[in-house]
Chains A and B, each alone.
Chain A
Amino acid sequence: MTTVDEATAPALDAPGREPGGRWRRFRSRLTPYVVIFPGGLWLVIFFLLPMIFMLSLSTQQGSVVDGYSQVWDFGTYSRAFSNYHDQLIRSLEYGLISTVLQIVIAYPIAYWLAFRAGTRKSLYLFLLLLPFFVSFVLRTQSWNFMLADNGFILSWLKSPSIFGWHLPFHLGQSFHVLATTPAVIGGLTYNYLPFMILPIYVALERVDPRLIEASYDLYATKFRAFRKVIFPLSLPGVFAGVVITFVPVSSDYVNAHILGGTNNSMIGNVIQNQYLIVQNYPTASALSFILMAVLLIGVFAYARALGTEEVLEVAAR
C-alpha cells in the first residue's frame, strides 16, 4: 500500500521527483480527474446536458397530445418574443428598479455596520439575517396577508374610527396595495435586500482604515473623505451585489404571483405557466433561452463596462 504514496502527491511536484517510471507519473496526473469525476459528471449530466435538451425542445413542433417532432423551427423564438416581450421588458424594468432601491437602502446599513457598529457588529448581522429562518415563500405570503384589501392593516386605515376615536383621515374603500406594481417591486426588494447588504458590507469592511486616516491628515472633510476614498473603494461590493441580485430578481415569479395582479406578470410567470400548465414546451423553452441570453449578456456587458473581470470573481465568492 505504501508504494502507492507517490500517486496521490500533488501533480505539481510529481514530475521528475523520482525516476519511478511513466505509469506512476501518469497515475498521479490522473488523480484530480478521478477525484472530481463523480461531482463533475453530475454537473455535466444535470446542468449542461439539460441546456442542450432545452435548446432542442425549443425548436420542436407539435402538442402534448400528439407528441413533438424535431423540425429545427427557430421561428418559435420570434413568435415567443413578439407575444411576450411586454413581460420580458417588465421583468427587466422591475429588476432594475428593485436593484437600485436595494443599493439605496442597503448602503447606509452596510456603512453603519462596517464603521459604526463596533463590537456588536455580528449581533446586527445576525438580526439582518434572522428572517432567513423562515421560508421565503412563507414570508412573501405573510406580506400578502398583511397587505390584503381587508387585512388588519388596510381595514384599520380604511375605517373612519378606531377604538371610538374619530379619525381625521381615512383611506377610501377601493384603496388597495396588492395587485399593484409597487407591491411586486416592494416584495422583490424586500426578499433580496440582504444579498445586497452583505457584499457592500464586506467591501467596506476591507477598506484600509489608514487610507481614511490619511485623507483626514490631508484635510479632507468627512464628506470629502467618503466621496473620494470610502465610496470608490466600496464599489466592487456594490457591483457584486448587483450581479448577485439582478439575475434572480428579474427571473422571479413568486412575488408577482403572490403580491401582483394580472398586469404585473413577469417573464418567469409566463415560463412557469407555459411549462407546467399549458405544457407548450417549445414556447416555454424558447422563452427560457431568451431570458437566460438577455441576463447573461446583461451581466457580462456590465462586467465589461466596469472594465474588470473582478466583478465575476467577487460575485463567485
Chain B
Amino acid sequence: MTTVADTLDAPERAATPRGPRNKVRTRWGDRMLYGYTWVVILWLMAPVIVMILFSFNDTKGRYNTSWQGFTFKWYKPENLTANHDLVQALGYSLLIAGVTTVVSVILGALIGIALGKYRFRGQASFNLLMFAAISAPEIVLGASLLSMFVTFNVPLGVPTILIAHIMFSLSFVAVVVRARVLTLDPAIEEAARDLGASPFTTFRRVTMPMIYPALISGGLLAFVLSIDDFVVTNFTAGGVVTFPLWIYGTSKLGMPPEVNVMGTLIFTGGVILAIVNAIVARRRARL
C-alpha cells in the first residue's frame, strides 16, 4: 500500500538526518499498537476466561468463591440438569429465540423486499419508523410495551415476550434484506417473467435464492438479539424467567457453577459453529 509513497519518499528521507530514526520509531509504534490490541482483546475476554476457568472449580458449597481445585464434576449430566430453574430458563430462551427468528425473518424480509424493490409513497416515513425502532433505547421499548399491556390488562408471559422480541428484531432483518435487494439486478427477475414464470414461481425460484444469504444473516442476528436480550424481556416477562433474567436474579448471591458450565457450553458451541461457517464460506468462495 505504501510502496509508491516509500519509493517517492526515499530520497527525501535519506537527505534528512531523522529519516532512519523515523523508521525505527514507526516500527516501535507498530509493535506498541500490536501489543495494545492484544491487551484490549485480553481485557474483553477476561470475564469469559474466568467463567470458563471456574466451571472446572471444585467448590464445596452452592456458589463459586475461590479456587478449590480442578474437577469435571459440574459437567456430569446429572449435575448439569440438577438446577431445574436454570434448565427451564434456558429452554424458554431457546424457544423464544427460535420462534422470534422464524417470524421476524418472514416479516422483516417482506419489509426489506418492499423497501428495496419498490418506490412508493410513505417510504421515507417508513424508513424513519424503522430507524426509530432500531435506535430507541431498549428500556423505552420495554416500558412502552408494558404500558400498553398494563392498560389492557394483558397477562404477561411467553406471548408478550415474543411480541416484543419480534418487534425489535424485524427491523434489523429488514435492514439486512433491503441492503441485499438493492444490490440485485432487476433484469434477472424480468427475464424470469419473460420466460413465462408466474410471480410466485419468480419469487420462489429466482428472488428467494438470491436473497437467501441475507435471510440467513438476518435470522442469525434475530436469534442472537433475542437470546441475549435482557432489558425488553425484563419488562415484558411477568413471571417467566429466561436465561439472562435468571443470571441477573442471582447477581447479589453469587454465581453457581452450573451457570459457568452452561455459559462455557454455549460459548464453545457458538465458536465452533462460527468457525465451521467461516471455513464452509471460504471453501465455497474458492470453488
Contacts and interface: CB of A to CB of B under 8 A. Distances in A.
Interface of A: 1-2, 4-5, 7-12, 29, 31-33, 35-36, 38-40, 42-44, 46-51, 53-54, 56-57, 105, 108-109, 111-113, 115-116, 124, 126-128, 130-146, 150-152, 155, 190, 193-194, 209, 212-213, 216-217, 219, 221-222, 243, 247-248, 250-251, 253-254, 257-258, 268, 271-272, 275-276, 281, 284-285, 288, 291-292, 295, 299, 312, 315-317
Main secondary structure of the interface of A (DSSP, over half): helix
A141 B255 contact: yes
Given A1-B198, A108-B33, A142-B47, A271 B139 contact: yes
A138 B242 CA distance: 13
Interface string B237-258: 0000001100110110011000
B102 interface: no
Interface in B13-45: 22, 26, 30, 33-34, 36-37, 40-41, 43-45
B87 interface: no
B5 A213 contact: yes
Contacts of A271: 139, 143
B199 A4 contact: yes
B70 to A, nearest CB: 15
A132 B45 CA distance: 10
Contact of A275 (B123, B146, B174): B146
18 contacts: A12-B118, A36-B110, A36-B111, A36-B114, A42-B107, A43-B133, A56-B151, A109-B40, A116-B30, A133-B267, A135-B266, A140-B47, A141-B259, A143-B47, A151-B66, A212-B5, A216-B8, A316-B135
Residue with the highest number of chain B CB atoms closer than 10 Å, among A49, A141, A190: A141
A315 B5 contact: no
Contacts of B251: 141, 144, 257-258
Interface size class of B (residues with CB under 8 A): 35 or more
B147 A276 contact: no
Given A50-B144, A142-B51, A152-B66, A251 B247 contact: no
Contacts of B114: 32-33, 35-36
Given A47-B133, A152-B67, A288-B144, A133 B33 contact: no
Contacts of B174: 39
B33 A137 contact: no
B170 A33 contact: no
